[in-house]
């Protein structure tokens, strides 16, 4: 479970009167008020949902956008199957693994893999982050260019360990884990998101149990993304690792991926 913290007050806010009814739907789904004192606001505007810290000197709002911005730039210029994440999950000529991203967050890594042709299942346990992700996926599916990519991404909301332990049907070939960690990529975007989400999520204290469940379920490999200098997760040692400037992918091979 995530690190314990003081209760965080959150409200839903429509940014336009015409969106009041949809905001009420989100309030009902998430069990959140539409008014009152709050530390955070989940705001619904014409561009979709965004999460805002209402405190002084807070970072700007965070939303999921797979159509424009950083996601579009990486989709067009990110290096394709030569990217380290693609190599880590086993993307190769004629091979596009079926992947479960069990710590989906805002879906950035899952979108990269879906762009490359992988069928993705995403699990996110924090309801507000899952709401942002659901909203971003819905908007992406209605886009002419990105719709086919977003159609490869299926979102599940809940505890990843419980969902993996009760998995029905064909197991994913690859399970991808990126547990929350005290230090991360130092880019301004990631720092803003970490500052916003830390009070809601905390650090993942169940990463060893997450890895254990993943190793039982995955048919071919488990991949764990870590900050480059972070220790490995407690448990079995990875077979090998791929290391970049700020991140490292610890790879636990179970069976060879082939065409």
Would you write out the chain's pLDDT as a tens digit for each of its 259 residues? 344 446 789 999 999 999 999 999 999 999 999 989 999 999 999 999 999 999 888 878 999 999 887 776 667 655 677 889 999 999 998 999 999 999 999 999 999 999 999 999 999 999 999 999 999 999 999 998 899 999 999 999 999 999 999 999 899 999 999 987 654 445 555 566 666 776 676 655 689 999 999 999 999 999 999 999 999 999 999 999 999 888 999 999 999 998 6
Strand, helix or coil at 240?
strand
- How far, in Å, CA of 217 to CA of 2, rounded? 22
Is residue 214 left, alpha or beta, with left meaning phi > 0 and alpha meaning psi from -120 to 50? Answer: alpha
Residue that the structure tokens 């990217």 belong to: 83
103 neighbors 225 (Cβ within 8 angstroms):
no
Report the run of H or E that residue 72 belongs to, with start and end: helix 69-77
User: Annotated binding site for S-adenosyl-L-methionine: which residue ranges?
Assistant: 108-109, 124-125, 178
User: What is the reported pLDDT for 183?
Assistant: 46
- How far, in Å, CA of 48 to CA of 137, rounded? 11
For residue 157, report the phi and psi dihedrals to the nearest 5 degrees: -110, 125
User: Which long-range contacts (C-beta less than 8 Å, at least 24 apart) are formed by 112-117?
Assistant: 112/74, 112/75, 112/78, 112/83, 112/85, 112/86, 113/85, 113/86, 113/89, 113/176, 114/149, 114/150, 114/152, 114/153, 115/75, 115/149, 116/80, 116/81, 116/86, 116/91, 117/91, 117/152
User: Annotated binding site: which residue ranges?
Assistant: 108-109, 124-125, 178
Domain ranges of the chain: 69-253
206 neighbors 161 (Cβ within 8 angstroms):
yes
Question: CATH fold of 69-253, please?
Answer: Rossmann fold (3.40.50)
Residue that the structure tokens 């007050």 belong to: 9
């Amino acid at each position: 479970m995530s690190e314990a913290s003081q209760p965080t007050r959150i409200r839903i806010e429509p940014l336009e009167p015409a969106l009041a009814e949809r905001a009420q739907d989100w309030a009902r789904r998430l069990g959140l008020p539409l008014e009152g004192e709050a530390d955070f606001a989940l705001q619904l505007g014409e561009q979709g949902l965004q999460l805002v810290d209402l405190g002084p000197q807070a970072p700007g709002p965070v939303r999921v956008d797979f159509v424009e911005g950083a996601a579009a730039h990486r989709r067009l210029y990110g290096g394709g199957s030569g990217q380290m994440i693609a190599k880590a999950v086993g993307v190769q000529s004629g091979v596009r693994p079926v992947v479960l991203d069990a710590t989906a967050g805002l879906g950035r890594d899952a979108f990269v893999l879906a762009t490359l042709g992988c069928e993705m299942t995403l699990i996110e346990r924090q309801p507000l982050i899952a709401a942002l992700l659901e909203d971003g996926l819905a908007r992406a599916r209605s886009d002419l260019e990105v719709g086919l990519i977003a159609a490869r991404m299926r979102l599940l909301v809940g505890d990843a360990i419980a969902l993996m332990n009760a998995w029905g049907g064909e197991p994913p070939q690859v399970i991808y884990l990126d547990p929350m960690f005290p230090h991360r990529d130092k880019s301004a975007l990631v720092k803003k998101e970490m500052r916003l989400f830390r009070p809601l999520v905390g650090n993942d204290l169940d990463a060893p149990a997450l890895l254990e469940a993943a190793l039982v379920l995955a048919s071919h490999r488990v991949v764990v993304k870590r900050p480059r200098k972070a220790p490995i997760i407690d448990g079995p040692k990875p077979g090998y690792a791929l290391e970049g400037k700020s991140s490292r992918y610890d790879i636990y091979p179970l069976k060879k991926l082939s065409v």
